[in-house]
Chains A and B, each alone.
Chain A
């Protein structure tokens, strides 16, 4: 029960995050285009639907591994991914090219993905954890501090 609730919450997070990315316009939908972006190292994060064919999924993961890009396995099928992007068609793969920093600050993304988009944030957080003590207040503060 608890696990189901947790996944629902993270799904909502991803969805709200995707909505913001759609507004900013720096994304690419569809298998061919996402591969192109990953090949040119422009993609910051790749998202795969859960009913993506296994060959395509592993191919995308391999490309992302070589490019050192993150891959997120969306907990929903291609219809859900398309809906989350506000489209009336299906999309198995999606690549986020250039996340607008202001948009990220507003949303409460899991840190796992923030670290792919902003590697300096991850380092900053690691440093803080090493120094000990709890992480300070809202995540937006952290980010703005990291960017300084």
Chain B
């Protein structure tokens, strides 16, 4: 499988373009409502700001916040990267049932946000938490 779970991808299209995301679920050959091959990703919406030692504790806490997003994308709109991510996001929370109503999306987003921030603070998977420079 080229797109295994927990691989990092770059989102290329849409509002979240140039952001990094983690694959939650890969659906080849589509389903009845999406007839194309699509991927469920949990990604970063707003990256954490740059933080230095001179900035005080309160400000670093504020700057280290990550805003996350959970979305379905067409496989064309993503580019796979060679990186993968260690601590897995909870699949029971982030699944396709969440997209039935916008209210239901709150919990998976929070879960994704929490896990992403954890990863950022422990310094794991550095590439994921960094803004794409170009």
Contact = CB atoms under 8 A, between A and B. Distances in A.
The binding surface of chain A is classed by DSSP as: helix
B1 interface: yes
Interface stretch (A9-17, A37-45, A73-81, A122-130): A37-45
B125 interface: no
B59 interface: no
A52 interface: no
Contacts of B76: 32, 35
Contact of B2 (A32, A41, A59): A41
A66 B75 contact: no
Contacts, number: 23
A118 interface: no
B41 to A, nearest CB: 14
Contacts of B2: 38-41, 63, 66-67
Contacts of B80: 39, 63, 66
B15 interface: no
B74 to A, nearest CB: 11
Nearest to B29: A40
A38 B3 CA distance: 10
Given A32-B76, A39-B2, A67-B2, 13 more contacts: A35-B76, A36-B37, A36-B75, A38-B2, A39-B3, A39-B75, A39-B80, A40-B28, A40-B37, A41-B1, A63-B80, A65-B82, A66-B80
Interface of A: 32, 35-36, 38-41, 59, 63, 65-67
